[in-house]
Structure 1
Amino acid sequence: MHIAVFNQHHHSPDCPATCRHYTFLEYLAQRHSISLVTSSAWKQVRITDKHSWVPAGVQLYEQYVPYQNQMGVAQRLFSYGGFAAYSMAKGLRMPEPNVIWAVSTPLSTPWVAAKVARLRGLPWVFEVQDLWPAFPIQMGAVKSKWMQQRLYKLEKELYQSASHIITLSPDMTDYIAGLGIPAAKITTNYNGTDLELSAAIGEAEIYGLREQYQLQGKQVVLYAGTYGRANDIPTLMQAVEYLKSEPAVQFVFAGNGYYEPQLQALAKQCQNLLLLPPQPREKIFKLFKLADVSLVTFNDLPVLATNSPAKFYDSLACGTPVIVTNPGWTKSFVEKYNVGWYTPPEQAQLLAQTIKAALAAPGSLKEKGANGIAVAKTLFDRQILAKQVEQVLEQVV
């Protein structure tokens, strides 16, 4: 089977990112012919150079289209439009695939896939990583009511056009089904994690990391991810301040983004905050193994409650309990499987209290950590999730 993958945001394990599709492409390329249409933007942020840019066997069609998390609305639209034009041309000229697999975000990528699929008479699969246009609209990036209506109309048309839809969370599935899309046409496929990376980390490496950052005798609270406008960073900063008088509690933040200047200023005032640069895939697992608890926080917006954050899965795979602030499926999940805690979004004092209470109960930390490892093996193994995607692609062909 020849699978054409349209994904503007491809990256490798050398980048500070989730690498879901790298793992999936590696799995699929052992069994099928893969063509990847993508942008080279993430190449600029590689931290190491241990991995090939695409897995062996993947035919790469790549265009330089700038993209950064710090971009404004106009710059992002230019980036999305540039990639859409390139992928349209490449999609119509490449050797004919059996199926197209389009990864959103942004919504322009599945739009191109739908056009190419229609013109070439092919089935196509729509993978929804975040709900668009709800995300940019609720974040305030699209203010025109007319434009909002047009985008929602386009979204539904794409769901109807797709041969099948893959979502990364149960809440996304429920949302799409609520638009009248048949449930049989939607498959929930969690973002997942790479269990082998977690299993490869030994105690000696964790001890060395603790010494390197002078964390002996400290209880580590980890936030690993983007310091973005959707990640409720101001609440995290306030929680750091609330707990700065607790000598045993050490916050470790690894990442970059919009709020980085404010975090750097805070770290100069609060000794209980250690800022690390973005980490490649293997090193981020060491930090999760080091931590006593990790934080998965987002703003109080309905669309953010549906998302599927990579740090949630990575933390559980490493046996580190999570504190989530999404009132959606992650809240239900941590409560059902006893793998962490929920505290309401944008409530800094409650978050600080939850952190303090969690760290004061070592027995509970151990129990929730063990539960996390067990559930990750059952539900979040990317090798199993890749096979599920393969089955969807084969089914539509």
Structure 2
Amino acid sequence: MHVAVFSQYHTNPDCPATSRHYSLLAQLAQHHRVTLITTSTWESQRLTWEFAWAPEGVELRTAAVPYQNHMGVARRGLAFAQYAAYALREGLRIAKPDVIWGISTPLTAAWAAAQVARWRRVPWVFEVQDLWPAFPIAMGAVPNRPLQRVLYHMERSMYQQAQAIVTLSPDMTTYVQEVSRHPADSFAPEKVHTLLNGTDLQLAALATDEAVAALRQEWGLAGRRVVLYAGTFGRANDIPLLLAAAVQLAPAHPDVVWLFMGHGFYDQAVAEAAALHPFIRVVPPQPRHAVFAWFRMAEVSMVPFLGLPVLDANSPAKFYDSLAVGTPVVVTNSGWTKAFVERHRCGWYSPASNAAALAELLAQLFSTPAQLRVAGQNGRLIAQQEFDRQQIASRMQQLLEAAR
């Protein structure tokens, strides 16, 4: 079977990114022919060279379309359009696939997959990584009402056309199934499937005692308790909440150090806070295969988002990576992650944008370290049961084969 994959952002474990599809494509290519239509955006951002850029057996078609998080709305829109145009052209040039796998974000990447599927008369599977256009609209990136209506119609029509729809969280599935009831664009809600973002357990196993000890020595963290935020410093991630909570927690727990790993919109705010407060430190982005030792070094990790309903459906990689190495999480979503950590007792919920509540919660946890240990053990167990990307890859393969 020939599978054509449309994904604007290909990464590998040498990159400071989740690399979900690297793991899934590696397994799929063992059984089927795979052509990946993507861009070179992340290739220049590799931090190490321990992995092949694409898994063995994956044929690459790569466009030179630049993209950076700091781009404005218009420049991002141009990048989306450039990739969509390239993907349309290449999708019509490659050998006819048996099935197409279109991955959003952005929505335009999946749109290109849908058009090629229609023109070449083959089925396609739509993977929804973020709720587009609901997310950018909620963040104010698409203020134009007529354009919003166009994007919502595009979304509904793509759900309708896809043979199967894959989401990364239960709340995403609920959202898509609710869209299925739209009278003008209805579709069978049964074709929506939840495949969690998951994590790479074989890479998590690299977070050994020796690796953690080496990090502590390198960063001068002997005897310090670590709170870790690892991810994008984006507007949706409520970084000011963490900075304020760090300041409020410091008097009661001077032994706590907050590590901020990543970059993004709040780079300057984090750097300024680190310059003012010795208990706040900035860690440069780390390659995927190295990040697990940082999570294991932490006593608790942060998974914050603004209190917008559309963000409750998110399926952030840091959530899975932290639990996989036995580090409990604090979430600020009131959606499925809150229900998950409370049901499995592997973390805690703190209200979005409430720094006082977060500082109070952390003070209580650091005063009763047994809670942290038990939650970490619970998290590691549930990660082994539900987060393994090898199992997720097998389910994705089955969906693609069934769609043929």
Normalised by the length of structure 2, the TM-score is: 0.97
Aligned to 1:210: 216
CA distance in 2, matches of 1:81, 1:134: 19
- Partner of 1:108, secondary structure, is helix
Question: Which one of the candidate residues 219, 225, 242 is aligned to 1:236?
Answer: 242
How far apart are the structure 2 equivalents of 1:362 and 1:171? 32
Matching residue of 1:24: 24
- 1:243, 1:362 → 2: CA distance? 16
2: CA distance, partners of 1:92 / 1:15: 30
Asked if 1:171 is matched to 2:171, the reply is yes
**1:194 equivalent in alignment to 2:194:** no
% same residue: 50
Match of 1:340 among 347, 354, 378: 347
Q: Which amino acid aligns with 2:111?
A: W
Matched, 1:184 2:190: yes
RMSD of the alignment, in Å? 0.8
1:371 partner SS: helix
| CA distance in 2 between partners of 1:393 and 1:129 (Å) | 17
Q: Map residues 105-144 of structure 1 onto 2, 5 A cutoff.
A: 105-144=105-144
Quote how far apart the aligned CAs of 1:244 are. 2.7
1:39/1:65 contact within 8 Å kept: yes
Deviation at 1:41, TM superposition (A): 0.5
Q: Is the CA contact 2:207–2:325 (under 8 Å) kept in the aligned structure 1?
A: no
Residue 315 of structure 2: which of 305, 308, 323 is its match? 308
* From 294, 302, 325, the counterpart of 2:301: 294
Moved more, 36-45 or 201-210: 201-210
Amino acid at match of 2:221: L
Hey, what's the Cα distance between the residues in 1 that align with 2:249 and 2:64?
A: 44
- The equivalent of 1:271 in structure 2 is 278
Matching residue within 270, 274, 292 for 1:285: 292
For 2:273 and 2:312, locate their aligned partners in 1 and report how far apart those are by CA, in whole Å.
28
In the other structure, the counterpart of 2:394 is 387
Contact 2:301 2:327 in 1 (8 A): yes
Distance 1:273 1:29 in 2: 43
Q: CA deviation at 1:146?
A: 1.2
Q: Deviations over 1:196-227 (max 9, x none)?
A: 11123221111111111111111100000000
Give the C-alpha shift of residue 187 in structure 1: 0.6
- Name the amino acid aligned to 2:171: D
- Paired positions, count: 397
Q: Determine whether 1:354 maps to 2:361.
A: yes
SS at match of 2:50: coil
Whether the 8 Å CA contact 1:221–1:291 is kept in 2: the answer is: yes
Show CA shifts across 1:67-88 (max 9, x none).
Answer: 1111110010000000000000
Deviation at 1:270, TM superposition (A): 0.6
Q: Following superposition, which runs of at least 4 residues in structure 1 exceed 6 angstroms of deviation?
A: none
**CA shift digits 1:25-44 (9 cap, x unpaired):** 11111111000000000112
* Deviation readout 1:297-327 (Å, 9 max, x if unpaired): 0111111110100000000001000000000
3-state secondary structure, aligned to 2:137: helix
Q: 2:227–2:299: 8 Å Cα contact kept in structure 1?
A: yes
Structure 1 counterpart of 2:22, one-letter code: Y
Alignment of 1:4-15 (within 5 A): 4-15=4-15
- Partner residue of 1:72? 72
Aligned residue in 2 for 1:151: 151
- 1:222 and 1:293 in contact (8 A); partners too: yes
**Does residue 396 of structure 1 match 2:403?**
yes
Q: Which residue of 2 aligns with 1:96?
A: 96
Distance 1:201 1:268 in 2: 29
Provide TM-score, normalisation by structure 1.
0.99
Output the CA distance in 2 between the equivalents of 1:215 and 1:360: 19
Counterpart AA for 1:368: A
Residue 206 of structure 2 contacts residue 292 of structure 2 at CA under 8 Å; is this kept in 1? no
> Do the aligned partners of 1:244 and 1:271 also contact (CA within 8 Å) in 2?
no
Asked if the contact 1:105–1:129 (Cα under 8 Å) also holds between the matched residues in 2, the reply is yes
Contact 2:260 2:280 in 1 (8 A): yes
Look up the match of 1:363.
370
Matched, 1:325 2:332: yes
Q: Which amino acid aligns with 1:278?
A: P
Structure 1 residue 377 displacement after superposition? 0.7
Q: Which amino acid aligns with 2:210?
A: A
Cα distance in 1 for residues equivalent to 2:211 and 2:154? 49
Residue matched to 2:183: none
Q: Which moved more, 1:81-90 or 1:240-249?
A: 240-249
**2:135 maps to amino acid:** F
Q: Give 1:235 deviation, angstroms.
A: 0.8
Whether the aligned pair in 1 keeps the contact of 2:312 and 2:333 (CA below 8 Å) is: yes
Deviations 1:83-138 (A, max 9, x none): 00000000011001110001100010111111100100000000000000001100
